[in-house]
Amino acid sequence: MNVIERFRRSFPFNWGVTTIEFGAGKTQLTGKIVKAMKAKRVLVITDPVMLKTGIINSIMEPLKKEKIDSIIFSEVEPNPLDQIVEKGAAIARAEKAGIIIGLGGGSSIDTAKAVSMLAANPGSIRDYQIKEPFDFEKIKNHPIPLIAVPTTSGTGTEGNFWSIITNTENWSKMAIGGAPVFPGAPCIAAKVAINDPLLTISLPAFQTASTGVDAFAHHYDAYTANLSNPISDALSEYSINLIQNYLPIAYANGKDLEAREMMMLASLLGGISFANSDCSGVHCLAEALGGMYGNPPKPVIAHGLACSIFLPWMMEFNSMTDPVKHGNVARLLGENTGELPLTDRALKCVDGLKRLIRSVELPRSLESLGVKEGDLPAVAERATWNVSVESNPRVLTYDVFLSILKKAFKGWD
Ligand SMILES: [Fe+2]
């Protein structure tokens, strides 16, 4: 499909809608924003690392300055569990929280989104799982207003209406949320996103790498998904190039503010892009793996790392379904594609991606991460449950997922 044909298609575009405050030092506005929103009590949802490192002070001090009463719930862990969401919602109700602030990586913000919704709606968080595309009418009451403050550059969840929560009944990941079904309808998107790149300066190199590749995966999935549209395409083309240029710098020198700013921008734009075009095959596999290998006693595999492991194989599998777009990805990743035939240009995207992964020194096989080969069929089965299976440009089946998992198990050099 060429650009003109894409422009002829009709499409909606919506991300919630969230006011974005982007820039170094913007967390200083937290107190003033909460005051303007007229909340009497704030519930801050975060993880223990934010307390230990003192990053939480970047929002607590501005809150104190405005004399805003706040309580902290800091039990979020990677790959957040439904049980933690239910506990957080009970606290939000008991404490009569007027605003929720989610501070941290994707896990904290996704938990905060789910808590803000569940505290204002009946039942279990599992009742709100989106099981069919566009089945977005489950949320009847407006969530407690949410302010999202990311401390990583990967998920972009501060910029959209999705939350991914682990279902502990079957250890799979649930998609919660969706676009508002009419203008002004209940929606779990944050009312405000405060994107302050200074909060990512101390992010360790491994997390910089894995979350940065997650941001790339959002753009790759969004750009090639069946529901991609001209606006999400523009966001993703712009951002893939940002990631290609700035992720290696942020990895090598975390104190480089320009690299941190550009990565935070690419991450935010990824959240907006995939909310309007969907994630696809890479995330079907990464979320399936994260359901089974997201919490002890099994090895905990970071979501972005899972994306990084699956990306080369899924890109290779998809490339001939849209060689123009895959050729564009190759070019945006810095590959020299000028004189090559179309199909060769498309396959070059895998070379560009591998170079990016090498530059940030991420592991390249499931085997090296402690995944058991005998678990691969169960991961493949969970991948088929994902609500985004049909968004992938090439048909995905259990056999396809298992074949990619077997390749990813051994990895690449
Ligand atoms: Fe992701």
What is the per-residue pLDDT across 161-186, written as a single tens digit (0 to 9) for each?
A: 999 999 999 888 899 999 999 989 99
Please compute the mean of the pLDDT values over residues 228-251 and round it to a whole number: 96
Residues in the chain: 413
| Residues 210 and 190 placed together within one structural domain of the fold | no
- Higher-confidence residue of 404 and 132: namely 404
What is the whole-number distance in angstroms between the Cα of residue 188 and the centre of ligand 1?
A: 18
Ligand 1 mean position, distance from CA 131 (Å): 18
Q: Is 60 exceeded by the pLDDT of residue 103? A: yes
pLDDT, position 5: 58
- Apex CA 215: angle with CA 214 and CA 220, to 5°? 95
The number of folded domains in the chain is 2
Q: Is residue 318 a part of any domain in this protein?
A: yes
Query: Of 25-34, 234-243, 288-297, 349-358, which range is least confident?
Result: 288-297
Q: How far is the CA of 62 from the centre of ligand 1 (A)?
A: 30
What's the distance, CA 212 to chain centroid?
10
| Sheet with strand 99-104: strands edge to edge | 19-22, 192-195, 146-150, 99-104, 41-45, 69-73
Do 211 and 272 lie in a common domain? yes
Say yes or no: 96 and 155 in one domain. Answer: yes
Residue 86 sits in the same domain as residue 126:
yes
* Whether 157 and 244 share a structural domain: no
The Å distance, Cα 164 to ligand 1 centre, comes to 9
Asked whether residue 121 carries a pLDDT value surpassing 90, the answer given is yes
Q: Is the pLDDT of residue 3 over 60?
A: no
389 with 315, same domain: the answer is yes
| Residue ending a domain, choose from 181, 200, 219 | 200
Ligand 1 centroid to residue 165 C-alpha, Å: 12
Last residue of a domain, one of 200, 230, 248: 200
In the prediction, which pLDDT does 7 show?
57
pLDDT given at position 9: 67
Among 20-29, 55-64, 132-141, 378-387, the range scoring the smallest mean pLDDT is: 132-141
Q: What is the pLDDT of residue 383?
A: 96
Q: How far is the CA of 67 from the centre of ligand 1 (A)?
A: 36
Q: Is the pLDDT of residue 16 over 80?
A: no
In terms of DSSP bridges, do strands 172-177 and 162-167 run parallel, antiparallel, or are they unpaired?
Answer: antiparallel
Measure Cα distances from 105 to 59, 134, 282, 349, 353 in Å: 15, 26, 20, 28, 24
Q: What's the CA-to-centroid distance between 95 and ligand 1, angstroms?
A: 32
Q: Do 228 and 238 touch, CB atoms closer than 8 A?
A: no
Question: 9-13, 65-69, 202-206: lowest mean pLDDT where?
Answer: 9-13
CATH number of the domain residue 356 falls in: 1.20.1090.10
SS3 call for 41: strand
* 275 and 206 part of one domain: yes
Mean pLDDT of 80-102: 97
> At 387, is the pLDDT very low, low, confident or very high (cuts 50, 70, 90)?
confident
Q: Which one of 163, 184, 200 terminates a domain?
A: 200
Q: Does 6 have pLDDT greater than 70?
A: no
pLDDT digits (tens, 9 = 90+) for 223-239: 999 989 999 999 999 99
* Ligand 1 mean position, distance from CA 355 (Å): 20
